[in-house]
Chain A
Amino acid sequence: MTVAIVGAAECDLGVTGAGVLELQVQAVTRALADAGLSLADVDGLATNNVGRFSTNEVADQLGLRPAWVDSTFVGGSAFEAYVGRAVQAIEAGQAQVVVISYASNQRSARSRSLGGVLEEHLPMAQFETPYGPLYPLSFYAMAASAYLHRYGLGREHLAAVAVSAREWALRNPAAYRYGAGPLTVDEVLAAPVISSPLGSADCCLVTDGGGAIVLTSAERARDLRSAPVRVLGYGEATGHATMATPDDILDTGAAASGAAAFARAGLGPDDVDVAQVYDSFTITPLLSLEALGLAEPGQAGVLAAEGAFAPGGDRPLNTSGGGLSYCHPGQYGVLLLVEAVRQLRGECGDRQVAGAEVAVAHGTGGILSHHATVLLGVDR
């Protein structure tokens, strides 16, 4: 693969009081500055969540006239999917410099609803919403119930994921929970249950935030300001929309997505030095890590409880603090990529994984509906 990530940045995070276009402009201009590029260089744009015509709106705001855009809307994994399509666009010559961006002011705007959005013309409205599931939370809760049941594990194995995320967040000044102090398994278990077996401490934050990355050819990347990060592989998989559709609730598309990414990269799970895996809920990365081959079936929860994913562990996971303790602006996928890039550049200070050369960023969207995997590596 001949494409590199040359810029990465966050917009303001947390509770910003800003509008979504202001945050978009922050993300894009900061990522371009990181790359040593300007808006005039950009001819490709991928984003969503701004309006019905998100790429039109962001192009208009930035004064761009891109030759390639993508506004695929599949949940928080869209940004990993955009990387695959951006690589294709650059390799095909349709775009030279692609920006992938995202921003949300959901916390400031108080726009998040526990029940999700009712779309009366879709099957879920007639056949599932009447039973009162939280969307998406109750689906992940049912997956968690199945995971714990199948492998004989307990809520403490889920809780360990939140504990690990907090430990990383304490080392990341940009994290929402930076300075909040450590979290214990007992505290996670004592938090109010929302939809069993998941309690409030098993659930991601609800914050403003977002970010952007900039991609261009690996050849051009070597002339730019930051150390290039190569895209080594990508893959994605789409599945169900309703809670009853998957025959096996634990058999997610992450396996196919991950296998495609590893095959394109010519790498295997053992080659991964640092993992950024979507943690909407504590169960989510456990299922994804096993599907990606980064843990044996039923073992991700055991590894979490042993501290393998925490600072000092041998399988560093979600080193920013993740959606659980760093930032979760509705769709978190772009920030998985930002942190992966920073780890591979060695910019992560107290939370740096020594010698990290290969990173995986794995996004999950909807109710384990869409999965997209990106493998990144230092430029050799």
Chain B
Amino acid sequence: MSHDALKQVGAVEGYVPPEDALTAPWWAATREHRLLLQACETCGSRQHHPRHVCTSCGATSLGWTSSAGAGVLDAVTVVHRPPRPDLQAPYVVARVRLDDGPVLLSSVVGTGALGAAIGDRVALTWRDLSDGRALPVFELEED
């Protein structure tokens, strides 16, 4: 994984804060390129980002389920003026509505990424961090 490839998604080595007790399983799964969603043990709702409570039913007993990683773009922006000088613009920031339910903030990378549009189907891929964790990002599905 090159430094330049990380820059494409707006992420930089060492910039992703460390996991905490709540998020450790989520980040551990990224090391194996698995995208976890939080799943409520009471009502079955799935949510992202991880929380200490289910926002659907209020239960505090929550587990994890794997996402199939397919979804559709819900909102898209191409950042041309990065918030940090170490980022290389332009790059895509988008909301991805997973077929599994929750919405994630992520990036669209790869062929045609800068032309990504709302309604486009996307599939999960990964950008590895130097500490062994990885960031989930998405590629446009070929039609």
Contacts and interface: CB of A to CB of B under 8 A. Distances in A.
The answer to whether A and B belong to the same complex is: yes
B57 interface: no
Contacts of B102: 244
A87 to B, nearest CB: 32
Interface string B109-125: 00000000111000000
Contacts of A138: 77, 79, 93
A60 interface: no
A125 B17 contact: yes
Given A126-B23, A142-B95, A131 B83 contact: no
A368 to B, nearest CB: 12
Interface stretch (A50-58, A143-151, A286-294): A143-151
Contacts, number: 120
Given A126-B19, A130-B15, A142 B81 contact: no
Contact of A195 (B11, B77, B119): B77
Interface residues of A, number: 39
B30 to A, nearest CB: 11
A126 B17 CA distance: 6
A114 B81 contact: yes
A244 B77 contact: no
A249 B81 contact: no
Interface string B94-114: 110000001111110000000
Tell me which of B80, B83, B104 has the highest count of chain A C-beta atoms within 10 A of its own C-beta.
Answer: B83
Contact of B77 (A114, A142, A149, A242): A142
Interface of A: 113-116, 120-121, 123, 125-135, 138, 141-143, 145-146, 149, 192-198, 242-247, 249
Given A130-B9, A131-B135, 9 more contacts: A113-B83, A128-B105, A131-B11, A132-B82, A132-B83, A142-B95, A192-B81, A196-B77, A243-B105
Interface of B: 9-11, 15-17, 19-20, 23, 27, 48-51, 74-84, 87, 91, 93-95, 102-107, 117-119, 135, 137
